[in-house]
Amino acid sequence: MNAKISEIFKSIQGEGVYQGESQVFIRFYGCNLRCSFCDTKLDFYTEKTVEETFKQICSFENFASVSLTGGEPLLNWKFIKLLAPRLSEIGKPVHLETNGILYNNLKEVINCIDVVAMDFKFPSSTGLCELWKEHREFLRIASQKEVFIKTVIGKNTTNEDVFESIRILKELKADIPFILQPENPYESFLQPKLKYFENIYKDKNINVKILPQLHKVLGVK
Ligand code: SF4
């Protein structure tokens, strides 16, 4: 079993509730979406077997967990189904960083994933069509494991999308961390908007936090 992999590297986790943790990242090539703010450069890849990937991960030292990222890693669910149990055997928790759309693929691998970091793609932020139905179904499956949600807040993000995300979170009746991520950590004009949205989530008793991408702030990969 092969997968197209853009890079394997060790760094700190820059996003979400595991921000700052030392991880090995497997960046899978390819994505099923085209978000307007996407800054992931996926212009090259190497075909790797599960065994080659596993060996390369093991060549790194002093890391806490492994992050499957992309692109969209769930496009490679068959590969993940073989790789993830190997990582569990060596005591490395497996984090899945996903756009939160491909719920049928998630069903296939959820048993071998430890942490799901999923996106809510707000149409007003991404320029994409509504994906609420997919996010709702995805979250239902992801919540079998530890899960948190990230959403990018940009200048066009609307109240309507914020309220729709709250409706989905409330349906699930679970205390799921919800991260507001500024599209650009250096755009100060976004700060009032982030605070305003944070207060809306807090009023509805959502476990919300504003977290800029730490790797961008620190200038690391
Ligand atoms: S889901 Fe992620 S990788 Fe895919 S286009 Fe959107 S930001 Fe880029």
HSE, side-chain direction, 13 A CA sphere, residue 129: 4
- Give ∠ CA 176-23-110 in degrees, rounded to 5: 45
- Give the residue, by CA position, lying nearest to ligand 1 atom 5: 34
Please state the pTM of the whole predicted model.
Answer: 0.96
Cα of 116 vs centre of ligand 1, distance in Å, is 16
Cα of 101 vs centre of ligand 1, distance in Å, is 11
- Using DSSP's 3-state secondary structure scheme, residue 24 falls into strand
Q: What is the 3-state secondary structure (H, E, C) of 172-205?
A: HCCCCCEEEEECCCCCHHHHHHHHHHHHHHHHCC
Q: Give the burial class of 171: count Cβ atoms within 10 A of its Cβ; 0-12 exposed, 13-18 middle, 19 or more buried.
A: exposed
Cα of 34 vs centre of ligand 1, distance in Å, is 6
We report the CATH number of the domain holding residue 65 as 3.20.20.70
Q: Which structural domain, as residue segments, surrounds residue 175?
A: 2-218
Q: Please give the chain's pLDDT, 221 residues, in tens.
A: 999 999 999 999 999 999 999 999 999 999 999 999 998 877 899 999 999 999 999 999 999 999 999 999 999 999 999 999 999 999 999 999 999 999 999 999 999 999 999 999 999 999 999 999 999 999 999 999 999 999 999 999 999 999 999 999 999 877 999 999 999 877 788 899 999 999 999 999 999 999 988 887 777 77
- Work out how many domains the chain is built from and give that number: 1
Is any atom of ligand 1 closer than 6 Å to the C-beta of 31? yes
